Chains A and B, each alone.
Chain A
Amino acid sequence: MAQDTTVPKLNFEYWLDKAIEWGQATTLESQKDVCLHLPQLQEFLHQLYETIKHLQGSTAAVQQFPLIGQLLGRLCWNPFVIGYDESQRTLMWCLCCLYSSEPQNAVELKANSWIRETFTESLLCHLVSSSKWESNEAETSTFISALGYTSADYYCHLVKNMVVSLVTELRENQSNGLNIQESISASRVNAMSIFCVPLITLPDLTPLLETLLLYHGSSSKEILSSEFLEAVNEAFLKKKISLPEPAVFSLWLRHLPSLEKATLHLLDQLFSIQLNSLEEVACVIKDSLLPQAASHPAIFRIVNEIFKNALMETDGTSEVMTIIQVFTQLFLQAHQNENKQHRFPLKAYFPNHHQPLVRGLARRPFELPTTSWSQHLKHISDMLKALVEDTNVSSLIDLFEIWFLVACFGEWLDIAAEQLLKAAIEPDAVLWLLAFYYCPKNENQQRTQTMVEAQAVYSHLMMLFSCADLSLKDLEAAVHKLTGVEQCCNQHLTTHLLTNFLLFSTGGHKIAQECIYHVTEVTDTSKEIYNLLIRTAYRFNHSGEENQRTVKLLNALLQKLPLKV
């Protein structure tokens, strides 16, 4: 049996000391300490079980771990430990392992007897509480037996009753706020939140968790303990409990670290799944409840900051950008679904921006007829141009903020590229918008240069737009632009235009697969193209794109492309 690798990890002395400490002290501090150590303790117990499960009877186990009896005994009487998650199960398994089916000596006999006692006493009766309960204990169990029930039924009802009672008192206290005589002190509510920490994943407790999260005392300081708030957040993120939305929002509003954790958790989730379709992404984001929570401007601003940082840390990869764009769309949806009376104006979410620009960007495309999209885009482009070129944009930071704002509403950018090729009215303004997106800085005239190049590519593509028969050679010039590494802004913009061209032009369809294959061979734009395609597919699904040919092509491309990403 593998002893050496596991024994050092099982630090019995440490845990026994802890168990003794916890047993003696009844202060709030020691109770908080228990709560902090519960996850590690559970892990320890699990490892312990794995180590002793092959053993028959207690002698071998006691030889290897002399302190095991003491430790398990003490832990069994600690309601924090027993109440936590799966600790009670692991403890019970450990006890079962120590039980001998054929006791060989007095020690084993005694151990057996002790184990049975622990099971019946610590599990079935003798609540560690006031003496009033102890005297009633025997009467209760006789009565329950007579009724034909077991302690399972009894405790089921008991816990539910206690929860209801606490919930009622909290709610009454909430509405009774003015009557200070009868109000519950903040310290008692704080203590209650600590006692609830081990029990968070017990379904019976959910009503109490909800009530606590929505409870606001008279003071402005946070009453609930941070251990509690963190633990609830963890359980929620791991989907071990489900809470109603108002409770979750309240949690995030009261406890900033929880909100941050939730946002980072969402990003982790999204990075780990293969982005096959934006529907999947949207689903995950919606489930996280963050877009809905972001209806609170405070929450929105923090989530936005975190996304911004993530974008900067990953050097603006298109995956992160796509995630941010989908999030913004879902946020807008949730925002619009809110009751008009409770809805905050857009200014609350984007306080430092030019409001007409915000309003323009926040218009959902489907709210406007497709024929007016070009006009709308021109409007946005003009405002943006005025902001960026005419006024003195003082710093790079300001420029970045404006750029980020535009990038969040990426749907319009995709539509811009599409409109350029399909319904080109005043292409220069729309082209400028795209040029700004791909190349916001202009200290060394990079953007101007990009604009010039873009115009060239655009005119070239427009010439070929109505040609029925195209070959790869015709697009040589455009593809050539992609392979030159001088300016990657040009590469991105050209890719965008080229891909759209292949999707929406008559001749482009036939050579689409061939062309894209070739492009992905000679450049490293496959991820970008892939993201663009899934964004387009998502948009079509929601707007009901009629052009079946385009849809078919899109699906075909999406099937083939993942192999190259």
Chain B
Amino acid sequence: MEVVLGQVEQLPALLAVSRSALVRDWDSLTLDRALEWARYFQHLYDRFRTRPQLREALGRRLRRSQPYPQLGFSTLGRCPQLLGLALLENRALPPAACRRLLRSLPRSPGAGTGPEPRGLELIARRKAAACLLALSRLPPRRLPGPEAQLQAEAQLLLRRLQEEAQEIPEAAGQLRWLCGVLEQLPQPRAFEVVAAALVLLKQGRGQGRDGSSLDGYQASAAGDGCTAELLLSWLLGSQERFSAFCLCLPCSYLAFLAGHYSQLSRSYLDLLTVWGSHLVYDPLQGRWVKSCLDEAELSWEELRQRFSCLCQGSTLLKEQTQAALKLLRTQDGDFKVCGVSVWTDLLMEGSFYLLTFIKMSTIMQK
């Protein structure tokens, strides 16, 4: 077993080399050997994936190695593809080795893991399919929720999270892993992906269309709940991050998420409270303005819009929002006059806005 662990430790190095300039010294024999190693790792994956203890051991050993802390046991299963594609993209690979690679890839068996183990032609075909289907996209997109690309990224994230959850039992470790991964994306994108993932979890599509698991990792309602917790703890982990998240996403989208995740709705309302309390009333202009010209704060219009989005959500969310507003109004002295408490004004606007909205939607339905 120690031998196997030692071998598995080499995987990160192998992948690193395949992406580096070191391959310029490779000939076709070296390439063959590398591909053989990849197939061997995949074989290990097939053998051990139904044996949790061995799986954990291998996973731990993999994670020990730098500079890719993100690798896990499941990476072993994808080794031939990872290696092959990395080498293909590597310009430093000399012609002889490259030719050997090209000859082997399109017909690579890659049997075992993965839904369709048929090599590059399937990637190319699917890419073309994505292109063609994009051409036939039907405007306008009426359905709420993320676009197909974001969904795909979110699905991959969820898949990986579920794999990690089986290997790293403690939540702190998982969170560290998640942070590491999400750092790879620029922040707006990371937020979009996480939001998409949260939506997918609620729709029960964490692992792709059919219920069957793609990698032998069973998705369950409990498992989904844990994953959601993890994502939320990342989001809510720092106030800065969370407020950036809330500023980044459109308010209807946020309202949708808040309606499904109670921790989110609470934190969101708290944040809105903070923002709201930073507004001051300007009697000369007759409206609420920001107390300081900070980008990361909301204006009156924006605040009002966000509250009205929340009120258009589920009944529970609406009640929660209105209760929160009423409480704040009470704390401010329970005035029913404009211009004294921002909460009073919001409530008054809110009901007006809601009525207007109801009227508008009835007209449109006719």
Contacts and interface: CB of A to CB of B under 8 A. Distances in A.
A, B co-complexed:
yes
Interface residues of A, number: 74
Contact of B132 (A79, A120, A136, A151): A79
16 contacts: A96-B103, A101-B96, A116-B91, A116-B98, A120-B88, A130-B134, A139-B185, A139-B186, A144-B153, A149-B160, A156-B126, A157-B155, A158-B149, A158-B151, A161-B148, A198-B128
A142 interface: yes
B181 interface: yes
A142 B91 CA distance: 18
Contacts of A133: 149
Given A147-B160, A165-B143, A155 B136 contact: no
Interface string A110-132: 00100110011011100111100
Contact of A147 (B85, B98, B181): B181
B133 interface: yes
A159 B129 contact: yes
Interface stretch (B117-125, B299-307, B324-332, B333-341): B117-125
B312 interface: no
Interface of A: 79-83, 86, 88-89, 92-93, 95-96, 99-103, 112, 115-116, 119-120, 122-124, 127-130, 133, 136, 139-140, 142-144, 146-166, 168-170, 172-173, 182, 184, 188, 191-192, 195-196, 198-199, 202, 204-205
B189 interface: yes
B125 A195 contact: no
B130 A123 contact: no
A195 B138 contact: no
Given A139-B185, A169-B138, A195 B133 contact: yes
Q: Which residue, of A80, A88, A99, has the highest number of chain B Cβ atoms within 10 A?
A: A88
B133 A99 contact: no
Contacts of B136: 166, 188, 191-192, 195-196
A160 B149 CA distance: 11
Interface in B126-176: 126-138, 142-143, 148-149, 151-153, 155-157, 160
A144 B156 contact: yes
Contacts of B128: 79-83, 88, 198-199
Interface stretch (B2-10, B70-78, B221-229, B347-355): B70-78
Given A89-B106, A120-B88, A142-B185, A158 B152 contact: yes
B246 interface: no
B91 A93 contact: no
A147 B133 contact: no
Interface of B: 28, 70-72, 74-75, 78, 81-82, 85, 88-89, 91, 95-96, 98-100, 102-103, 106, 114-116, 120-138, 142-143, 148-149, 151-153, 155-157, 160, 180-181, 184-186, 189, 193, 208-209
Contact of A82 (B85, B127, B153, B186): B127
A199 B148 contact: no
A158 to B, nearest CB: 4
Contact of A151 (B99, B123, B137, B160): B123
Contacts of A79: 127-129, 131-132
Contacts of B148: 158, 161-162, 165
A155 B184 contact: no
Nearest to B76: A148
B149 to A, nearest CB: 6
B130 A155 contact: yes
Contacts of B120: 92, 119, 123
B85 A150 contact: yes
A122 B95 CA distance: 20
Nearest to A119: B88
A130 B134 CA distance: 9
Given A79-B131, A146-B184, A162-B134, A140 B160 contact: no
A143 B209 CA distance: 22
B129 A147 contact: no
| Residue among A96, A112, A157 with the highest chain B CB neighbour number at 10 A | A157
B95 A101 contact: yes
Given A100-B99, A140-B149, A148 B160 contact: yes
Contacts of A157: 151-152, 155-156, 208
B4 to A, nearest CB: 20
Given A99-B98, A102-B96, A151-B123, A159 B160 contact: no
The 8 A-B pairs of least Cβ separation, nearest first, read A83-B128, A82-B128, A155-B126, A192-B136, A157-B152, A79-B128, A101-B99, A79-B131
